[in-house]
Amino acid sequence: MSDSQSAAKSAETSEAQIASHWKEEGYYRPPVTFIAQANLADPEIDDRFAEANFPRCFEEYAELLSWYERWHTVLDTSDPPFWKWFVGGKLNASYNCVDRHLAKYKNKAAIIFVPEPEDEEPVAMTYQELYARVNEFAALLRDFAGLKAGDRVTIHMPMVAELPITMLACARLGVIHSVVFGGFSGEACGLRAADSGSRVLIYMDGYHRSGKLIDHKASAEIAVDVAEKEGQKIDKVLVWKRYPEKYTSATPMKEGRDFFVDEVLEKYRRARVAPVPMDAEAPLFLMYTSGTTGKPKGCQHRTGGYLAYAAATSKFIQDIHPEDVYWCMADIGWITGHSYIVYGPLAVAATAVIYEGTPTFPDAGRPWRIAERLDVNIFHTSPTAIRMLRKAGADEPAKYRYRFKHMTTVGEPIEPEVWKWYYEVVGKGQAVIVDTWWQTETGGFLCSTKPALDPMKPGSAGPGMPGIYPVILDEKGEVMSAGTGKAGNMCIRNPWPGIMQTIWGDRDRFTRQYYAKYCKDKSSKRWQDWPYFAGDGAVHAADGYFRILGRVDDVINVAGHRLGTKELESACLTVPEVAEAAVVPVADDVKGRVPEIYVSLKPGYAPTKEITDSIVGTIELMIGKIARPRKVHIVPDMPKTRSGKIMRRVLAAISNTLDTGDISTLANPDVVEQIRQAVQGKEKVATKEGPEDLKLFGKEE
Ligand code: WTA
CA angle 661, 667, 668 (to 5 degrees): 75
Nearest CA to ligand 1 atom 23: 411
Res. 263: pLDDT tops 50: yes
CA angle 646, 539, 421 (to 5 degrees): 100
Q: What is the pLDDT of residue 699?
A: 65
Q: What is the pLDDT of residue 588?
A: 93
Q: What is the pLDDT of residue 13?
A: 29
4 — pLDDT class (breaks 50, 70, 90) = very low
What is d(CA 433, CA 419) in angstroms, rounded to the nearest whole number?
A: 9
Pocket test for ligand 1, best of 382, 422, 536 (most atoms within 8 A of CB): 536
Which ligand 1 atom is the nearest neighbour of the CA of 441? 18
Pocket test for ligand 1, best of 289, 343, 439 (most atoms within 8 A of CB): 439
Q: Residue range 627-651: average pLDDT?
A: 92
Res. 99: pLDDT tops 90: yes
641 — pLDDT class (breaks 50, 70, 90) = confident
Partners of residue 599 on adjacent β-strands? 581, 634
Tell me the one-letter amino acid at 447. Answer: C
Percent of the chain at pLDDT above 90?
87
**Mean per-residue pLDDT of the chain:** 94
- CA–centroid distance, residue 134 to ligand 1 (Å): 31
Q: What is the pLDDT of residue 700?
A: 55
Which ligand 1 atom is the nearest neighbour of the CA of 334? 20
Nearest CA to ligand 1 atom 12: 411
Tell me the one-letter amino acid at 227. Answer: A
Res. 18: pLDDT tops 50: no
Res. 295: pLDDT tops 90: no
Which ligand 1 atom is the nearest neighbour of the CA of 447? 15
- CA–centroid distance, residue 536 to ligand 1 (Å): 8
> Among 512, 525, 426, 520, which residue's Cα sits nearest to residue 473?
520
Tell me the one-letter amino acid at 641. Answer: T
Q: What is the pLDDT of residue 294?
A: 67
What is d(CA 701, CA 438) in angstroms, rounded to the nearest whole number?
A: 25
Res. 329: pLDDT tops 90: yes
Three-state DSSP class for 656?
coil
Which ligand 1 atom is the nearest neighbour of the CA of 409? 15
What is d(CA 203, CA 609) in angstroms, rounded to the nearest whole number?
A: 35
Res. 21: pLDDT tops 70: no
Res. 504: pLDDT tops 80: yes
What is d(CA 249, CA 233) in angstroms, rounded to the nearest whole number?
A: 23
Nearest CA to ligand 1 atom 5: 439
If one compares 653 and 694, the residue with the highest pLDDT of the two is 653
Dihedral pair phi/psi, residue 625, rounded to 5°: -65, -30
Total Cβ atoms within 10 A of residue 240: 23
Tell me the one-letter amino acid at 619. Answer: I
If one compares 596 and 13, the residue with the highest pLDDT of the two is 596
- CA–centroid distance, residue 340 to ligand 1 (Å): 14
Residues in the chain: 701
Q: What is the dihedral of CA 389, 394, 395, 400, to 10 degrees?
A: 10
Q: Say if residues 366 and 329 touch (Cβ distance below 8 Å).
A: no
Total Cβ atoms within 10 A of residue 136: 22
Pocket test for ligand 1, best of 437, 533, 558 (most atoms within 8 A of CB): 437
Which ligand 1 atom is the nearest neighbour of the CA of 562? 20
Dump strand ranges (E) for 420-493: 432-436, 470-473, 487-492
DSSP secondary-structure letter at 134? H
Numbers of helices and strands, H then E, in the chain: 23, 30
Nearest CA to ligand 1 atom 14: 412
Q: What is the largest CA-CA distance in the chain?
A: 73
- For 443-470, give one letter per residue: b (16+ CB within 10 A) or e: bbbbbbbbbbbbebbbbbbbbbbbbbbb
19 — pLDDT class (breaks 50, 70, 90) = very low
Contact residues for 662 (Cβ-Cβ < 8 A; gap 6+): none
Q: Say if residues 73 and 88 touch (Cβ distance below 8 Å).
A: yes
> Among 512, 550, 523, 499, which residue's Cα sits nearest to residue 698?
550
Pocket test for ligand 1, best of 301, 409, 412, 491 (most atoms within 8 A of CB): 412
Q: Which sign, positive or negative, has the C-alpha torsion 137, 140, 143, 145?
A: negative
Nearest CA to ligand 1 atom 7: 412
Res. 17: pLDDT tops 60: no
What is d(CA 627, CA 620) in angstroms, rounded to the nearest whole number?
A: 7
State the pairing for strand pair 278-279/90-91.
antiparallel
- CA–centroid distance, residue 130 to ligand 1 (Å): 31
Q: What is the pLDDT of residue 235?
A: 97
Res. 437: pLDDT tops 70: yes
| Ligand 1 interacting residues, C-beta cut-off 6 A | 289, 334-336, 410-413, 435-440, 461, 534-536, 548, 550-551, 557, 562
Dihedral pair phi/psi, residue 248, rounded to 5°: -95, -5
What pLDDT, in 10s, does the model give residues 42-86? 999 999 999 999 999 999 999 999 999 999 999 999 999 999 999
CB-based burial label for 196 (10 Å; 0-12, 13-18, 19+): buried
Q: Say if residues 186 and 229 touch (Cβ distance below 8 Å).
A: no
Cα-to-chain-centroid distance, residue 365: 25
Nearest CA to ligand 1 atom 22: 439
Contact residues for 251 (Cβ-Cβ < 8 A; gap 6+): 215, 217, 218, 220, 221
What pLDDT, in 10s, does the model give residues 314-324? 999 999 999 99
- CA–centroid distance, residue 553 to ligand 1 (Å): 13
Nearest CA to ligand 1 atom 6: 439
Q: What is the pLDDT of residue 7?
A: 40
Res. 20: pLDDT tops 70: no
Q: Residue range 508-534: average pLDDT?
A: 97
500 — pLDDT class (breaks 50, 70, 90) = very high
Q: Say if residues 429 and 609 touch (Cβ distance below 8 Å).
A: no
- CA–centroid distance, residue 224 to ligand 1 (Å): 31
